[in-house]
């Protein structure tokens, strides 16, 4: 079971690396085509979409994954019954909330965002609400069956489709206004997700044609719905806290910046630089943590059901270790090379500044993400939700009281950003450590990757200096220096035995 978990996580990390490359390329090209203001409008629209997605399907896909994993471990073949009921439930909910979007779009635009032109962006979100809700359930179904390849391919299809359609259209129509560009990007969400849904539906239909059923496959619909709600409601509340925070940020930050003396265009552009350009850098470790969280929840649920607590602890410690191995060196890179990163990716010095300021929170956000997944897998969804509520309240208070101050401006957001991230991380850690009675080897988990990072940074500087004598392009110089630094970091991890010697054997077992 341990090798299955590691193999699944490894596969998802590889897929997420592909998705990261596509996402990064997409965001970089998109920001150059529609500008910081267009990115701000897109991020504001996305915050609305995320709220309605959580209301219509939040936590249900995770519940499907958990229930199917538990049922398969008990040899009860009720997976299709669970899938059909959850799709019906999500279809009803997403339809209801889509009508809410349609009817209240003008009020949301005028009363919340104080921009009557915003309603057209909201209308464009309706198809995405329906399509994403259904496809998320299908992905949870395949994750629960540990058929990780199917949803992994679906996400690649979605990203490639959106990349090709949106950027191709924008290049053809360039130059365009920021508002028009943001509308095209929003429409691209539905187009990409449609490709995703077609693939998932085809694969699920293919499985039905090949499946045989046992007489024990019957399970009551009411019982299924009760179990789904028991799992999904706490997770949904936890997820809702995150998207409400994002939505509140999209409303409060631009408005409070205007109160601090920014123009409307400057406020939206600042919001776009933070959320659409700098934040994707800071959340890069989510490539790894997202893969492990998806794999952790059904695996931990299954092992807890079997009362195999030793494997549960092994999964938890392995996940924390991998998270730190990725997040600590990224924190070092953002602290040391923020300017070339911002110029290389976005050609924007202001983005470089934001990467530097926010970069020190990278490790805390990564740990917060993996801790949340672990707590959900251990059926401690309410605990995770409470911790996030505390962090959310802290951040919103800082935005409300500090961002509108002309002396602080956007720096008030950064104060809340750190206070929230660190607080949630600490609360999750101590609860998890006490609950599972974990023995934490700080030397192995924390100090080894820190030593590797401290060795990596000067190597990158030295490599860049040596390569500059070859008169090669600055961008190529920077990329090659990063590669040399990354290889040296891996070498230090190997020397200090931070990477288990038998990890390659685990992937093949």
Q: What values do phi and psi take at 441, rounded to 5? A: -90, 90
Q: Which of 229, 233, 239 is nearest to 51 (CA)?
A: 239
CA distances from 369 to 336, 404, 425 (A): 24, 29, 9
Provide the pLDDT for residue 209.
54
Q: pTM score, two decimals? A: 0.74
Any idea which residue has 């991230």 for tokens? 421
Rg (CA), the chain: 23
Provide the pLDDT for residue 4.
53
Any idea which residue has 């290889």 for tokens? 487
Q: Which of 51, 34, 186 is nearest to 121 (CA)?
A: 186
Helices 221-259 and 381-398: crossing angle in degrees, nearest 10, is 10
- Rounded CA gap, 106 and 100, in Å? 11
Q: What values do phi and psi take at 57, rounded to 5? A: -145, 5
Provide the pLDDT for residue 217.
46
Q: CA 7 from chain center: how many Å? A: 21
Provide the pLDDT for residue 212.
47
Residues in the chain: 509
Residue ranges of alpha helices (H) inside 145-220 are 149-173, 178-210
The conformation of residue 218, written as its DSSP 8-state character, comes to: -
- Rounded CA gap, 50 and 200, in Å? 21
Q: Which of 182, 176, 33, 60 is nearest to 117 (CA)?
A: 182
For residue 473 the two structure tokens come to 């392009």
- Rounded CA gap, 354 and 279, in Å? 9
The conformation of residue 501, written as its DSSP 8-state character, comes to: T
Q: What values do phi and psi take at 497, rounded to 5? A: 60, 35
Residue 301: partners with Cβ closer than 8 Å, 6 or more residues away = 66, 69, 70, 377, 379
- Rounded CA gap, 342 and 434, in Å? 41
Given a contact cutoff of 8 angstroms between Cβ atoms, the answer to whether 379 and 373 are in contact is: no
CB atoms within 10 A of CB 468: 12
Given a contact cutoff of 8 angstroms between Cβ atoms, the answer to whether 239 and 372 are in contact is: no
For residue 213 the two structure tokens come to 């059923």
Residue 88: partners with Cβ closer than 8 Å, 6 or more residues away = none
Any idea which residue has 């299955």 for tokens? 4
> Along the 509 residues of the chain, how does pLDDT read in single tens digits?
445 555 555 666 677 678 877 887 888 889 888 988 899 889 888 888 888 888 887 778 878 887 887 776 554 457 777 888 888 889 999 999 899 888 888 888 888 877 777 888 889 999 999 999 999 899 888 888 777 788 888 888 999 999 999 999 998 888 888 889 999 999 999 999 999 999 998 888 776 555 544 444 455 667 778 778 777 777 777 677 778 777 888 888 988 998 888 888 888 889 999 988 899 889 888 877 776 776 666 677 667 767 777 878 888 888 888 899 999 999 999 999 999 888 888 888 899 999 999 999 999 999 998 998 888 778 787 888 889 889 988 988 999 999 988 888 999 999 999 999 999 999 999 898 888 888 888 898 899 999 999 999 999 999 988 888 777 788 788 889 999 999 999 999 989 988 755 454 443 34
Q: What values do phi and psi take at 43, rounded to 5? A: -65, -35
Provide the pLDDT for residue 450.
95
Provide the pLDDT for residue 1.
47
Domain boundaries, the chain: 2-212+220-440
- Rounded CA gap, 348 and 353, in Å? 9
Provide the pLDDT for residue 5.
52
Cα angle 161, 6, 326 (rounded to 5 degrees) comes to 70
Q: What values do phi and psi take at 275, rounded to 5? A: -85, -30
- Rounded CA gap, 311 and 122, in Å? 46
């Amino acid at each position: 079971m341990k090798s299955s978990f590691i193999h699944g996580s490894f596969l998802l990390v590889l897929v997420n690396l592909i998705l990261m490359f596509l996402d990064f390329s997409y965001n970089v090209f998109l920001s150059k085509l529609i500008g910081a203001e267009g990115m701000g409008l897109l991020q504001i629209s996305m915050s609305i979409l995320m709220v309605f997605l959580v209301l219509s399907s939040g936590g249900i896909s995770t519940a499907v994954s958990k229930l199917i994993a538990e049922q398969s471990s008990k040899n009860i073949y009720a997976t299709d019954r669970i899938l059909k009921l959850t799709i019906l439930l999500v279809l009803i909910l997403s339809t209801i909330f889509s009508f809410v979007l349609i009817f209240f779009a003008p009020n949301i635009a005028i009363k919340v965002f104080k921009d009557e032109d915003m309603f057209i962006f909201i209308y464009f979100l309706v198809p995405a609400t329906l399509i994403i809700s259904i496809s998320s359930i299908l992905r949870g179904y395949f994750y629960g069956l540990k058929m990780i390849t199917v949803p992994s391919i679906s996400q690649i299809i979605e990203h490639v489709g959106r990349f090709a359609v949106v950027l191709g259209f924008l290049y053809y129509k360039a130059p365009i206004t920021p508002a028009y560009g943001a509308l095209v990007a929003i429409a691209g969400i539905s187009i990409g997700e449609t490709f995703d849904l077609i693939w998932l539906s085809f694969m699920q239909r293919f499985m039905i044609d090949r499946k045989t059923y046992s007489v024990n496959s019957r399970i009551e619909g009411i019982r299924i719905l009760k179990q789904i709600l028991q799992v999904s409601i706490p997770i949904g509340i936890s997820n809702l806290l995150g998207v409400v925070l994002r939505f509140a940020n999209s409303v409060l930050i631009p408005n409070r910046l205007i109160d601090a003396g920014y123009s409307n265009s400057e406020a939206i552009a600042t919001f776009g630089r933070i959320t659409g350009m700098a934040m994707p850098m800071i959340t890069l470790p989510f490539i790894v943590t997202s893969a492990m969280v998806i794999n952790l929840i059904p695996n931990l649920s299954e092992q807890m059901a079997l009362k195999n607590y030793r494997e549960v602890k092994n999964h938890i410690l392995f996940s924390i270790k991998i998270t730190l191995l990725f997040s600590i060196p990224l924190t070092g890179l953002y602290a040391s090379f923020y300017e070339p990163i911002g110029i290389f990716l976005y050609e924007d010095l202001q983005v470089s500044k934001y990467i530097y300021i926010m970069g020190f929170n990278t490790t805390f956000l990564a740990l917060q993400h993996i801790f949340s997944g672990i707590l959900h897998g251990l059926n401690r969804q309410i605990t995770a939700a409470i911790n996030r509520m505390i962090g959310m309240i802290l951040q919103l208070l800082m935005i409300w009281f500090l961002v509108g101050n002309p002396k602080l401006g956007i720096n008030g957001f950064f104060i809340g950003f750190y206070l929230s991230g660190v607080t949630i991380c600490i609360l999750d850690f101590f609860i998890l450590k006490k609950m599972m009675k974990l023995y934490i080897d700080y030397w192995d988990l924390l100090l080894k990757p820190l030593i590797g990072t401290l060795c990596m940074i000067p190597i990158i500087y030295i490599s860049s200096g040596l390569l500059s004598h070859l008169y090669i392009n600055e961008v190529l110089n920077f990329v090659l220096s990063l590669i040399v630094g990354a290889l040296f970091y891996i070498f230090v991890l190997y020397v200090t035995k931070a990477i288990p010697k038998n990890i390659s054997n685990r992937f093949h077992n």
